[in-house]
Amino acid sequence: QQQVKQSPQSLIVQKGGISIINCAYENTAFDYFPWYQQFPGKGPALLIAIRPDVSEKKEGRFTISFNKSAKQFSLHIMDSQPGDSATYFCAARDDYKLSFGAGTTVTVRA
């Protein structure tokens, strides 16, 4: 069964807009929550990550918000650019094993 639920499946945003992707989990053993960016024909690449003792982490235009009590976390992409068009995966780690969400395909329209 999928341990990390991700939504939406896809989204379209105008250049300069904000993209928001949401994830939820149940396993309280998860201790590390990374987001990966994947372009067609490429492997996933780490974008940004957060630990559950932090409620927010920002790196450039990318921000993770984390709600431990609700077991939810989200990725915000500010000032979206055409180069951000990709598939984004949330993930959660239990010891060494990553569980991935199903992915969100983001399309940024110029």
Partner 1 sequence: GAGVSQSPRYKVAKRGQDVALRCDPISGHVSLFWYQQALGQGPEFLTYFQNEAQLDKSGLPSDRFFAERPEGSVSTLKIQRTQQEDSAVYLCASSLVHPGQAGELFFGEGSRLTVL
| 19, 85, 103, 108: residue in contact with partner 1 (rule CB under 8 A) | 103
Does 5 bind partner 1 (CB under 8 A)? Our answer is no
Report how far apart, in Å, the C-alpha atoms of 59 and of each of 64, 95, 102 are: 9, 25, 23
- Stretch of 11-19, 40-48, 54-62, 68-76 lying at the interface with partner 1 (CB under 8 A): 40-48
Closest contact distance (angstroms) between CB of 54 and partner 1 is: 14
| Cβ-contact 65, 57 below 8 angstroms | no
End-to-end Cα, the chain, rounded Å: 37
The phi, psi pair for 77, rounded to 5°, reads -110, 110
User: What residues line the site for partner 1 (CB under 8 A)?
Assistant: 4, 6, 32, 34, 36, 41-46, 89, 91, 93, 95-103
